Structure 1
Amino acid sequence: MTEITIRDAVAADIPALHALIESAYRGEASRAGWTTEADLLDGQRTDPEDLAEILADPGQGLLSAWRGEDLIGCILIADRGEGTGYFGMLSVSPTLQGGGLGRRLVTAAHAALADRFGARRVRISVFPHRESLIAWYERLGYHQTGDTLPFPYGNLRFGLPKRDDLYFVVMERGLG
């Protein structure tokens, strides 16, 4: 088996990143894994322009996981200031989910957030409807803060909601 390499994504990776993220979250292909949002949202998860904005912003980035020439995972990292980092858009190829790559990407994100942005804690946002995902994050040391964030209804960049009760719960854990 070819070794997995995790590195910073670059602009040339955008087409592969976009395809991977969409396959992990939307449509029938996403149902091969356990992280699908296909029951909650239709439409896109992101677009190439959004990915380009992330890569151009010094306060954000995308870590990418490669097996040889194949992109198999990625995770967004961002500085939220005051010692707080954020990660999102954790994506693993649906047919490879459950094999430990997501955990490796989260660990790499924690290290990058601490090293690059001086983060001492990390916050994430998750749909409360995704109970198995929340449980997975809890096993990684995250806890729910009690804070919630609204879903951006009307912003097609985030997808087409299939229900009218979408929002996010905020989870957090310390680093170090």
Structure 2
Amino acid sequence: MPEVFFREAQAADVPSIQPLVHHAYRGDRARQGWSHEADLLDAARIDEAALHEAVADPAQTILLAERDGELIGCVQVTDKGNGLAYLGMLTVQADLQDQGLGRRLIAEAETLARIRYAATRMEMTVIVQRGELIEWYQRRGYVLTGETRPFPATDPRFGIPRRSDLAFVVLVKSLASQP
């Protein structure tokens, strides 16, 4: 893979971020990759309003991955306070998945969480039915906590469920001993 550059998203990037995230998670284009929600949820993964809120919020950072000037991935880090950061919206362009970019985005996100937000641990939630993705995160050092959280099935901002049993599992990773 040619050189990838990472930078923080700005408001002007939002119109490019939204379709990248949507096509990596939902719809037929998402099926080009191994990690998608196309069989679980319909509708947009995130809207531009939510992305603008995240970019403007000092407790949140969206990191972008670009190659040859093209946006190919992103990840969101949110400061939850008390040494906890939340990793979300990990996105790799569907046809580029399984080339190591997801690992690199996680590493960048963890470094940012430690330095900017003084995080000693990173948390994430994953839809319980996404077993292959949960295993992938476990191979990256994330551990299932045993906690589950309800999926906001009645809030269309998160998508329209194709099944009624969606829920999140919570995973966490210690960042304290990371270099």
Where on the TM-score scale, by shorter chain, does this alignment land: which range?
over 0.9
Identity of aligned residues (%): 47
Q: Which stretches of structure 1, 4 residues or longer, exceed 3 Å deviation after superposition?
A: none
Partner in structure 1 of residue 51 of structure 2: 51
> How far 1:69 moved relative to its partner?
1.5
Structure-2 residue corresponding to 1:163: 163
**Deviation larger for 1-10 or 79-88:** 1-10
| Structure 2 SS opposite 1:80 | strand
Q: Which runs of 5+ in 1 are unaligned?
A: none
Which position in structure 2 is the counterpart of 1:69? Answer: 69
Rounded Cα–Cα distance in structure 2 between residues aligned with 1:127 and 1:156 = 16
The letter of the residue matching 2:9 is: A
Aligned match of 1:119: 119
| Letter in structure 1 aligned against 2:47 | D
1:30-77 CA-to-partner distances (Å, cap 9, x unmatched) read: 000011100100001000000000000000010000002100000010
Q: Show the counterpart of 1:174.
A: 174
Q: What is the one-letter code of the residue matched to 1:81?
A: G
Work out whether 1:97 is the aligned partner of 2:100.
no
| Counterparts of 1:35 and 1:9, CA distance in 2 | 23
Q: C-alpha distance in 1, partners of 2:153/2:11?
A: 29
| Counterpart residue number, 1:5 | 5
Which whole-Å CA distance do the structure 2 matches of 1:137 and 1:36 have between them? 14
Letter in 1 for 2:146: G
Q: Which runs of 5+ in 2 are unaligned?
A: none
The match for 1:148 is 148
Deviations 1:111-158, CA, capped at 9 Å, x for gaps: 000001000000000011111101101100111001111111111110
Name 1:84's counterpart in structure 2.
84
Matched residue SS, 2:116? helix
1:2 CA drift (Å): 3.8
Question: Aligned-pair RMSD on alpha carbons?
Answer: 0.8
Q: Deviations over 1:3-52 (max 9, x none)?
A: 11011011111111001000100000000001110010000100000000
User: How far apart in 1 are the matches of 2:57 and 2:50?
Assistant: 11
Q: Scaled by the length of structure 1, what TM-score is found?
A: 0.98
Aligned partner letter, 1:114:
R
Matched with 2:30 is 30
Helix, strand or coil at the partner of 2:72: strand
> Which TM-score applies when normalising by structure 2?
0.96
How far apart are residue 106 of structure 1 and its match? 0.2
Aligned residues: 176
